C-alpha cells in the first residue's frame, strides 16, 4: 500500500483509528452484516474514508440492497481503486480508498440501478457529513 498519497506508519494508524476501523481499513476486515451504523442510513450528504477523510460517495449513490452493508451504485470519480481479491477461495473485486489504500469492501455486478454495480462497503471504513 505504499503507492498511495496519504501515508502513515502502522503505529500512527493504530493511534488515529478505533480498533474496529483499524481492523477493517488496515487489515481488510469486515463487520457483521446488519450491524454497521450506515447500513440503513439515508441522510443527505457525503461519505468519506474514515482513515484519510477523502470523499468517496454521495448520498444519492446509496441504495438499500438488503445485503446487510451500506451499498452504493457508484463512487465519486477517481476515489476508489479496484483490486483483484483471491482470498477465502473466491474471486472478488476489493475496493480501497485511492488516497490511503484503506479497505472499504467489495464491488459486485448485481446492482439494481443503471450502473449494474453494488459497492458493498463496511460502515467502519466510513464517516458521514450531512448536507442541509
Contact yes or no for 74/59 (Cβ under 8 A): no
- Known catalytic residue at 120: yes
Grid cell 502502522 is found at 10
Active-site option among 49, 52, 97, 120: 120
CA distance 23 to 63: 25
CA distance 72 to 22: 22
The x, y and z cell numbers of residue 102, run together, are 484503506
Residues assigned a catalytic role: 120
Amino acid at each position: 500500500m505504499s503507492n498511495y498519497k496519504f501515508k502513515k506508519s502502522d503505529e500512527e494508524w493504530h493511534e488515529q483509528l478505533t480498533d474496529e476501523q483499524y481492523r477493517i481499513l488496515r487489515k481488510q476486515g469486515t463487520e457483521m452484516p446488519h450491524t454497521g451504523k450506515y447500513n440503513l442510513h439515508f441522510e443527505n450528504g457525503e461519505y468519506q474514508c474514515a482513515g484519510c477523510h477523502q470523499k468517496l460517495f454521495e448520498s444519492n449513490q446509496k441504495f438499500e440492497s438488503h445485503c446487510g452493508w451500506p451499498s452504493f451504485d457508484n463512487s465519486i470519480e477517481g476515489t476508489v481503486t479496484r483490486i483483484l481479491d483471491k482470498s477465502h477461495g473466491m474471486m472478488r473485486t476489493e475496493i480501497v480508498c485511492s488516497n490511503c489504500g484503506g479497505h472499504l469492501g467489495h464491488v459486485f455486478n448485481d446492482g439494481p440501478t443503471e450502473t449494474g454495480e453494488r459497492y458493498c462497503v463496511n460502515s467502519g471504513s466510513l464517516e458521514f457529513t450531512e448536507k442541509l
